[in-house]
């Protein structure tokens, strides 16, 4: 039982929720997502993000379109599908419940 393992387990659970909440605000490019998460002090490897996005896309949560880029090959911009929205909604509810519960438990005197 080491502390790092537990920490990463905790982070893992909310990864999808974080990514979806970034994409929900508008079309997003994977490396932008990484930047944004870094800025919020949530470090994620780009190599971890791509499989996750692909899985979400294959589950019809996300969709993407190709956008021409002047700095290389065309980029994939991801956005939420209605199904993804619903999914996000449920995650959000769960998160709020969890946060409240955890907060209540942790701060109980």
Instruction: Give contact residues for other proteins (rule: CB under 8 A).
Output: 8-9, 12-13, 15-16, 30-31, 44-48, 50-55, 57-58, 69, 71-73, 75-76
19 burial via Cβ count (<10 Å: 0-12, 13-18, 19+): buried
Question: C-beta of 72: minimal distance to other proteins in Å?
Answer: 4
CB of 16 or CB of 92, closer to other proteins: 16
Q: What is the 3-state secondary structure (H, E, C) of 92-109?
A: HHHHHHHHHHHHHHHHCC
Question: C-beta of 109: minimal distance to other proteins in Å?
Answer: 33
CB of 48 or CB of 96, closer to other proteins: 48
């Amino acid at each position: 039982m080491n502390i790092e393992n537990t920490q990463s387990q905790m982070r893992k659970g909310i990864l999808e929720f974080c990514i979806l909440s970034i994409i929900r605000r508008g079309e997003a490019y994977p490396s932008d997502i990484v930047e944004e998460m870094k800025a919020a002090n949530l470090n994620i490897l780009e190599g971890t993000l791509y499989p996750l996005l692909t899985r979400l896309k294959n589950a019809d949560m996300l969709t993407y379109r190709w956008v021409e880029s002047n700095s290389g090959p065309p980029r994939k911009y991801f956005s939420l599908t209605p199904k993804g929205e619903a999914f996000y909604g449920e995650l959000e509810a769960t998160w709020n419940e969890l946060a409240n519960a955890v907060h209540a438990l942790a701060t109980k005197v």
